Amino acid sequence: MKKTMLFLAVFLLTITFSVSGQKAAIDKAAPDFTLTDSKGETHSLSDFKGKYVVLEWINYDCPFVEKHYDAGNMQKLQETYTGKDIVWLSICSSVDGKQGNFTPEEINKRSEAHGAKFTAYLMDTDGKVGKMYAAKTTPHMYVVNPEGTLVYAGAIDDKASTDKADIKDAKNYVAAALDAAMAGKEIKEKVTKPYGCSVKY
């Protein structure tokens, strides 16, 4: 019995390590992770197999994130696509003591004030998941398809600025990727250069 337990422990550890050592790559299986959200629940990417998942790197104090939340653009996207049974995970990789690293209470207060419509706000306080996905900026957006393959990585849209007025003429890459994928079409831009503040690792 003891032996079996030991074997199981080693087996599990190996799996954990092999998973956390993985790096995300386009058109490859998106590496799994488990994080706690601001409400205290834990979520794993693998929980959502069979559904499209959007990963949004977030930092409420970054002017580029403010642009999209103050204009209501991000909430509108979240509402539209969660309405189509898509899972939306906002991930904050600001490590302890850095900008954007808030207490769960503060997060919930701000999210409510913004009227955010994400599925969950995940706290990646040691930056591991961010580095696994090579998240560079806030926002930095990813789309995972129902098979668990990473199909989009990059900017939210094609107008790199902090000016809200740019949103209406911008081409939204995330919406384009989701619409194309859900219609069974090829995603034209799978990788774009993200823009924003640096992730505060």
Are the C-beta atoms of 84 and 118 separated by less than 8 Å?
Answer: no
Supply φ then ψ for residue 103, to 5 degrees: -70, 155
- Nearer to other proteins (CB atom), residue 19 or residue 176: 176
Q: How far is the CB of 116 from other proteins (least distance, A)?
A: 21
**Measured distance CA(136)–CA(154) in Å, rounded:** 9
Q: How far is the CB of 188 from other proteins (least distance, A)?
A: 5
- Nearer to other proteins (CB atom), residue 167 or residue 197: 197
Binding residues vs other proteins (CB under 8 A): 23-26, 61-64, 98-99, 127, 131, 134, 136-137, 153-154, 158, 160-163, 188-193, 195-201
Query: Whose CA is closest to 191, among 150, 162, 160?
Result: 150
- Nearer to other proteins (CB atom), residue 48 or residue 201: 201
Q: How far is the CB of 167 from other proteins (least distance, A)?
A: 15
- Nearer to other proteins (CB atom), residue 117 or residue 131: 131
Q: How far is the CB of 68 from other proteins (least distance, A)?
A: 14
134 token code pair:
């090579």
Are the C-beta atoms of 39 and 104 separated by less than 8 Å?
Answer: yes
Q: How far is the CB of 41 from other proteins (least distance, A)?
A: 28
Q: How far is the CB of 85 from other proteins (least distance, A)?
A: 26
- Nearer to other proteins (CB atom), residue 75 or residue 161: 161
Supply φ then ψ for residue 97, to 5 degrees: 85, -10
Residue identified by tokens 């902090």 is 162
- Nearer to other proteins (CB atom), residue 160 or residue 182: 160
18 token code pair:
């092999």
State how far Cα 119 lies from the chain centre: 11
Bridge-based pairing of strands 53-57 and 141-144 is antiparallel
